[in-house]
Each structure stands twice: as structure tokens, then as C-alpha cells.
Structure 1
Amino acid sequence: MPIPERVYLDHAASSPVRPEVAAQVAEDLAGGLGAWANPSAQHASGRRAGALLSQARARLAAALGVDPHEVLFTSGGTEADALVVAGRARAVPGGRVVVSPIEHPAVADSAAAAAAHLGAEVITLAVDSAGRVELESVAQAVAASPGRAGASLVSVMAANNETGVVEDVAGIVERVRMASGAGPGQEGHVPVHSDAVAAVGRAPVDFHGWGLDAMSLSGHKLGGPVGVGALVLRRETLLVPPTGGGGQERGVRSGTQDVVAARALALAVELAVAEQEAEAARLGGLRRRLLEGACAVEGAHATLPDDAVCLPSTAHLWFEGVDAEALLMALDLAGVDASAGSACHAGVARPSHVALAMGLDEEAARATLRCSLGPTTTPQDVERFLRVLPEAVKAARRARASRG
């Protein structure tokens, strides 16, 4: 039986593999280039695979505007985030891990685990009603005080994975440097990390221009395969790894590297970055149409204010008198794939921690909808979504009313 045509509006969770990437992976797996060999082996096949890995690292670095030695391959954004948070907590025992309240679970849960098991103190920054970090709270969180351990890390995402709001990363780094009085390589330096999984390929990202020490990204949000990502890490930033091993990836992430996946990630990022400006214009227009049409539904609200800088690919709403689970089910039955927020908490009925941090009450935070657009999204997709949305909202309200 053929799969019915659906409207896919969940590119922030995972985007289809790009045809160019799929073709390269298929060729690599067929063995023609020898990408299957262990790149650490000293024989000819290993050296050939090692050269391919180095080329992939250099290509990815060029696409991101960083140095090749700063690129470490990981299994995805979650691992990259966890390596930074836990690695800094181990490097500075009892230090402060400073995070925003709208972080992805990969950062938030890693910080909580660092507090529970590594003795770290977790400090949460303040955000405004759009989820933007209040810069003054950064200085207060980082500033030294007598009898208190120094900050070991500040981690704020470049763009939120639920709402799409873009943070002032450069401003945050500047406040950290002013409060600590030290830059990279100097005593008292506080590294700043940004989870850029949602931002890379969708908005301008400037690792060195922002002054970052670490940055995470993931392949499957950009048209690469699931299971590969990268951590961009300044050479002078110390991370204590959770395990031993062969010392690959500068000793931060030991284990045999997946050359096929590394090459796929490099190509996916190259393509996404090359088309980012044009896609931003196209998807921005579709986002405006989606929000305009959706907000015409009674009791529908755009979560972000009009003046918020946000990703052109993410439209975030909340609806009066519904819960997200019922709304998503109604949309699913109507042939639309969307989400309430991070897919990493899929299947768990809970209010959005991002919406709560922005000041929405629990009822509104349980009624959110994220529509995320991508390379395959068309104007027809948006119009079909808008046609089925009113009935889906009505069905969700009836379902909620029936439960009392």
C-alpha cells in the first residue's frame, strides 16, 4: 500500500537526507573510496581512510569558518553538548555551570547530572518574554565572589529549538569576558559554549566572530544522516572526557571514527550554508503566511513578539483551550506532521519548559505547537496545514472538554 502524501512540518526534529548526501553515502558504502577502513590504521587502506577523514574535517571547518583542528566529530548534537557540559564540570570540580532556562535537554539535563554527580553548582540565567537571555544576568552569574568556586562554563544556545528565537551570542560572550576579566588562554577564563544545532544552515553562525570556545551541531537537522554531528572546540579549552580509549578526536571522544558519516556531515553543512541566505528569504515568507493564517483561528497566538529576531524556518504558537497532545493527534489524522517542541521529550505529556521560562502559564505551556519548515516545504504545504488547522483545534478542544 502506498504511503499517503503528508505535509511535513517538523524539520527542526529531523530533515530528509539531501539527495546529494544520500548518493555520496551510497557510493562510500559501496567501498570505492575505501571510506570503510579504520582511519587510525597504519596500512595503505587505513591511510586512505585517514586522508578522507582529514578532508571531511577540512571541508566542514571551511563551511563553518573555523580551523580544522577545532572540529571534533561526534554522534550528534546531544553528545557534543554533553561532552562540553560534563567535560567542563570535571575540569573544574565544584565550579558553576551557567545555562539559560530555555536550553535543549542535552544541555539542561547534562547540567543537572553535573550537579548531582560531579558537585557542580548550576546557575540559571534570566530571560525575557521572548526567551532572550538578559545580559545583566550573565555578568551576575559569572562574577567572582569570596568563598565561591569560579564559573566553569556558560552555555546558551544560538537559536532555540522550540520557538526559533535567536540569542545575542556575541553580547553574551562579551558580558562573560567583562565579568571574568580574562580571555581564552588567560587565567580565570570562563569558556562559553553554544548549542547551534537549530541555527547552523538556517541563520548566520560566527564561531570566532562571536568569541565562542565551543559550539555543537548535528547532521540530521541539515539533510545529513542521523548519528553524526560535531563539536567545534578551541584548542586551549580543556575538557575532561568521561571515558578512556584510543585518543581520537583530540582525546575528547575516543573510538574509531565513522568516515562515511563525517563526509556526509561535511557535504550536508556545505550545502545548507551555501543556500542559507536564499532559503531564509523563501522560508521567511512561508513562515509569515503560516502565522498569519494560524492566528486567524479563534484563540490562537504567536508565541514570539513581532520584534523578536528568530529563525525563518520556525513558527511557534499556542492555543487557548487545547492541549498539545490532542492537537498533534488531530493534525496527524489530517495528514500533517508537526510537534509541540523538542522531539527528545516525545511521548511525554508535560508543559514546555521553554514556554514556562518565557512567562506563559502552565495551561498555555501545555498548548504549544511548533511548525518547522525546511528544503521540501512548499506554499501548498502551508495552505494545506491552514485548511485543516481550524478543525484540528476544534477536535482538540472537544477532546479536552470530554476529559473534564
Structure 2
Amino acid sequence: MSSENEDHAESVAAPVWDVVVVGAGPAGASAAYAAATAGRQVLLLEKAELPRYKTCGGGIIGPSRDSLPPGFELPLRDRVHAVTFSMNGKLARTRRSKKMLFGLINRPEFDAGLVTAAEKAGATVRTGVAVARVEQHGPAVPDRRTVAVVLADGETVLARAVVGADGSAGRIGAHVGVKLDQVDLGLEAEIPVPKTVADDWAGRVLIDWGPMPGSYGWVFPKGDVLTVGVISARGDGAGTKRYLEDFIGRLGLAGFEPAVSSGHLTRCRSDDSPLSRGRVLVCGDAAGLLEPWTREGISFALRSGKIAGEWAVRISEAHDAVDARRQALNYAFAIKAGLGVEMAVGRRMLKLFERRPGLFHALLTGFRPAWNAFANVTRGSTSLGEMVRAHPAAQRLLNTLDK
């Protein structure tokens, strides 16, 4: 290596960043934005080049919209005012709303926009950078206030605090010791369709309660493309694939060639799973944070990322391990008091849905208070947790159905 290259390597590795964020999805970009707006030196690392494709329905519900940076313009592909519910292709009924229920986006555009917002706030972004491991002890760590982020090419990046947002199978979650108790398989196809077909779906989504316990399918219209997917518990991949094929077939879409076919695993954390280790926090998918029933993850990523960025700033200012631990515990409390409550209700909803999907279908299609609750949750005027806390009738219903 030439001396010029050596000097360049040292200039990259030498700074001690206040906060290093690993992963530039919604959680990571939100964490970087929060830390950068606090005036800290922030480095955001992403292994892919942006924009990059991500398997995701792309539904932006109220809590997601409310967690975006001020002035952020959503790249909406459609605005949803109607939902068609069906039971494995049968008993279809459409419910409509004068107010928008939620918006639909393509993840490459959305994620890239969030990264741009973080950059404008002052964060430095490096793409095409894979992280090999994180070290909090050993020769790579100059002092106890520092974390070493070792990259795949051997470069070491130093930080006072690290936020892991590199997905549920990422390096940082493994370092923290994240534990999972629910893993689901999602399969999805992006299907270009003619204008006549696209017009039929404009402003309307389909939610189909599937043939396997806890499964469901969806159609999300995005202009001249329909995002069609299904999700079910991992363990019956062949059955999930058949469900998607049958679903596409009965929708009359089998004759259209998908532009993209993809799959992914969603993973929910167990109640006792850690959210930190030393000066390292995890958020979003890396922490196993998503709603267990619907498997909605974007709002959980945005909200947990923002909280992680704020507490990472405090950890970066901690002068010893005791103070760092105190701030990390405060972060965990903030997550559990908010998103953790929603996850707990979501787990109960999933168990009930697995046992009695017909009841859910009947309530949403034939009982106006249930439809109103669905609409209010998607708009963000309430959450599953708030609904149960504020309405004793909802708590009694859950308790009755739990038996």
C-alpha cells in the first residue's frame, strides 16, 4: 500500500464519531437524523448502494407519517380510501372511508429520501460498506468509552455509541444477543398491469385472510404496479408459496409477468430480549420490533429509530460504564412502555386470529365499531395499545376471546 493510501485509511479510521449507525433503512436513517439534529457527529453505514429494493408492502399508516422528519414529502404512489376483506378468496366485502386510511410507497424511494434527510441534518453517509463485527473490548478499542465497528475490509471505525439497524439477521443484533419468538415468511410479487386493471384497484387495497393459521394476503396498488404478497408462520414454505400462486391466480393476475419476485423473514423479539449491550443499541428489525399480528414494521422502525438516536446521543456523552448502562436502560424503558405495549396486544390479536379468523372477518366487515377501530389505527388517531387501555369493552372482548 502506498503512503498516500495509508494516509487516506488513517484519515477514515482516526475520527471517533459520536454515533455510528449501521443500516440505512427507515430505522437507521431515523436514528441518524435524530442524532444529527442534536448536533452530534454521526456516521451512517449501509452495505448496499442506494436506492435499493426491499421486500415490503409499503403501507404508510398514521404512526409512520407522524414519525417522519419535519417537511419530509412522502413519495406516495396511491392514497387508500377503501379496503376489500375476503376469507381465502370468499365472502369479499369492501369498506370505504371519506378520509384517507393510509398511503402506499415504494421502499427504494422512501428509504433514499430518509437517508437524504439524515444527510441534510448533518450525518455522513457511506454506502457499499459491510460491517463484520462490533468490539467493545480488546486491542481495537482505545478506551472504555469507545466502540470499534470493524468493517469487512478490515477498516475500523470508532464511536462513542453505536445503533444497530441492520435487519433481523444483522451483525449488531447478534452482538447484543437479540432473542426472537416469532418468525414469519413473507412472499411478494411486484406485478406491472395495464391501465384498465390499475384503474380498478386505484385507492383500494385487498386484505385476504389466508388458509394457514395466522396467514393473510394483500394487494397494494402503486400506479401501474400491484404489490401482491402473502405472509404466514415460517415452517411451511411450500404452503406459503402455493397460497401466493393461488392468490394471484384467483385475482386474474397470473397472466402478467412480475417485475420482481422476492421473499423475506420477519422476526419479532421475545419479551425478555435485550435492546442494548454496553454502548450498543438496536432498533427496528434488528431489535425484532414489529407488530406481531399484521407484521407491520415501518412505523416500528421509524419510531424506535428516532428513540434510539436520541438515547445514543446520551450514551455518547456517558463518561463511564455505569452511566452508559443507565442511559441504555432508559432507552429500553422507552421502547417497552410504548412499542412494547403495542406488541403485547398484537400478540394476543394474532393468537385470536389464528383460532378464529372468521370472527375477525365478520367484525371488520359487519360491525361498524370494529371497522372504525381499524380505520383509526391505520390513520394514527389511536393504537392497539391505546384502544385497549381507553376502552374497557375492548379489554373485556379480548379477555373473553382469550378463554
TM-score range, shorter chain: under 0.3
Q: TM-score, normalised on structure 1?
A: 0.24
